[in-house]
Amino acid sequence: MGAAEQPQGPPAGDDDGAGADAADAVAARAALVREIEASGAFEGDSSWREAFAAVPRHLFVPYYYVGRPGGYERLWGEDPDPGRRARWLRGAYTDAPLATRVRDGELISSSSQPSLMARMLVELAVRDEDAVLEIGAGTGYNAALLAHRLGDALVTTVDLDPEITESAARHLAAAGHHPAVITGDGARGWAGRAPYDRIIATCTLSTVPRAWLAQCRPGARILAPLATGLIALEVRDAEHAEGRFLHTPAYFVPLRGGDRGFGQAQVTGGLPQRALESELFRFLLSLTQGVFDPHEALALWRREGRPVRERFGVTVSGSDVWAWLDDPAGPYAWPLP
């Protein structure tokens, strides 16, 4: 693709990843699993190692886009040029996110960084009989990992965009998995297969959708990107949930639908460059967006000793959702949108 071209969809028939050389794909997948393991992402539940070793990522990214000056370049598994096919395969098994759908210059879907996916799956703390709802089908790769671990019948994945769900279903079938793939508003969950024991979102939220709690069993766990972190909530009942952020940073495409992700970045003029370079301060800026102005956020950050993510949490109680520092009933609490 030329430097100034806009990305287009794949040619007919290139969506099955058949261009991968089998031996190279197996070797590349094994190398990726070793890299994820070395990062410590499997610690706490090593059974996910076997899932990543078994599920071929290249089947879920038959094409993807890499940025270049003035536009994007598309790499795909059916490229007639063997060198470009080799680049595509190497890229499919790098521990990095891959842009899979770009529309009018906006990233609308991606395949997440595999080591981050592994950390999230470990933190989801699934048990063998757990029913899982995934919000954001993406390429279908995460649903395939869940289905490999739990079986197709216990996995449901939902996405707003029918093009995304249709391609995810094809990729899953190519890999031998058939979980429920639903086209719908992820902010509303999917009541048709409730109740769920676990909900995992692969898109950034601005708040916790109430419908999710109503579709969970008591004691269920919700893991979702919020601001630039990952919130892990324990569901008490249809009206109540609470939990803290994990230490892991997380950047995802915003949720599209009833409860959207965070909006445009705040104006940060006049803030010290040192503060703006802190990933933790930027997390606080995002979490307090629309409630505190940036200078108020900076004052809080300094006053509380530059708090880490794990000191922050979220509570859902009836129609109220709020974030907090250290204590849900403490002096530092503010409503989420």
Quote the CA–CA distance of 290 and 292 in Å, as a whole number. 6
Instruction: Provide the 10 A C-beta neighbour count for residue 44.
Output: 11
Quote the CA–CA distance of 189 and 210 in Å, as a whole number. 9
109, 111, 115, 167: which one is catalytic? 109
β-bridge pairing 132-135 and 106-111: unpaired
Quote the CA–CA distance of 102 and 5 in Å, as a whole number. 12
Quote the CA–CA distance of 163 and 182 in Å, as a whole number. 11
Quote the CA–CA distance of 309 and 286 in Å, as a whole number. 12
Q: Is 278 a catalytic residue?
A: no
Instruction: Provide the 10 A C-beta neighbour count for residue 35.
Output: 15
| List of residues 6+ apart from 50 with CB closer than 8 A | none
- List residues with catalytic annotation: 109
